[in-house]
Amino acid sequence: MPATDQLSLTFAALADPTRRVILARLARGEATVNELAAPLDISLPAVSRHLKVLERAGLISRGRVAQTRPCRLEPAALELAGNWLRGRREEWEASMDRLDDLLRTAGDLAVTGRASAGGPSPEGAP
């Protein structure tokens, strides 16, 4: 299924380590394609393809200054992904808290002997 919503495009773009390196570089400021390609062991056309993916995801934008097209980071798409992840983290933490409570209750029952299947309680009461 093709990624069409913004969040899917963002996570698909972030899935590639080369694109994450490019984003990390752009977090320090604007850069040209040549500047972005310099530390990478890939061709300029490959860097351009990565930039197109990042641009389509809204993670970067490209301007025009004379003959160059500097790239810049667009933090809004990253913010969208971060907000989504924070929401999932809150859900996961709440689930883990409920599981912790359940396990603690089950452990307390096991220690007191009330968890035995139909057997007498430690005090001998029915």
Assign residue 11 the CATH number of its domain.
Answer: 1.10.10.10
pTM here is 0.69
- Amino acid occupying residue 54: L
Q: Within a domain: residue 27?
A: yes
DSSP character at residue 57: T
Q: Within a domain: residue 100?
A: no
Q: Within a domain: residue 111?
A: no
pLDDT in tens, 93-115: 888 888 888 888 888 777 777 64
Q: Within a domain: residue 106?
A: no
Q: Within a domain: residue 97?
A: no
pLDDT in tens, 69-78: 899 999 988 8
Cα gap 90→62, rounded to integer Å: 35
Domain that holds residue 14: 6-76
Cα gap 84→9, rounded to integer Å: 13
More confident call, 34 vs 115: 34
- Three-state DSSP class for residue 40: coil
Domain count, the chain: 1
